[in-house]
Amino acid sequence: MNKQIFINLPVRDLKRSMAFYEAIGFRNNPQFSDESGACMVVSDTIFVMLLTHEKFQQFTSKPIIDARSHVGVLNSISTGSNDELNTFVGNALRAGGREYRDPQDLGFMQLRCFEDLDGHNWEATYVDMSKFPVQG
């Protein structure tokens, strides 16, 4: 069995956050969703669990950070092309996200970064291995 990754994010408004993540192409799995959390499917092995603060707090004794003013993690996701990268980030911005740094063009890699509605950071990349620098 392939390993699965579950990214758990505390959110202030579950319905708005679900709409945001659906707008960027993730789909909801209602089997693992209720009024306190939603399972957003990224792929067969990657899931984003959107949890109300009350639900999230059940899993930790630490205080929940305000992701708008503090960084706890950088979530990175790859795309299949530069066009897919720009569409993905464009959808995030139209859905209320905020691009928090200028796009980066490293020749072999394109990088764009945005925050979701709660300030959680996402780095979206496209890597063109045919342009990857050869180590000499």
3-state secondary structure the chain: CCCCEEEEEEECCHHHHHHHHHHCCCEEEEEEEECCEEEEECCCCEEEEEEEHHHHHCCCCCCCCCCCCCCCCEEEEECCCHHHHHHHHHHHHHCCCEEEEEEEECCCEEEEEEECCCCCEEEEEEECHHHCCCCC
Given this model, what pLDDT does residue 40 score?
Answer: 98
pLDDT of 76 reads: 97
The predicted model scores a pTM of: 0.92
Could you give the domains of the chain? 1-61 (3.10.180.10), 65-136 (3.10.180.10)
User: So what's the pLDDT on residue 134?
Assistant: 79
Question: Tell me, what's the pLDDT at 2?
Answer: 87
Return the pLDDT at 135.
Answer: 76
Per-residue pLDDT at 81: 96
Reduce the DSSP state of residue 107 to 3 states and report it: coil
Q: The tokens 């045919």 sit on which residue?
A: 130
CA atoms within a 13 Å half-sphere pointing along the CA-CB vector of 60? 11
The pLDDT of residue 136 is: 66
120, amino acid identity: H
| Each residue's pLDDT expressed in tens, for the chain with a length of 136 residues | 789 999 999 999 999 999 999 999 999 999 999 999 999 999 999 999 999 999 999 999 999 999 999 999 999 999 999 999 999 999 999 999 999 999 999 999 999 999 999 999 999 999 998 888 877 6
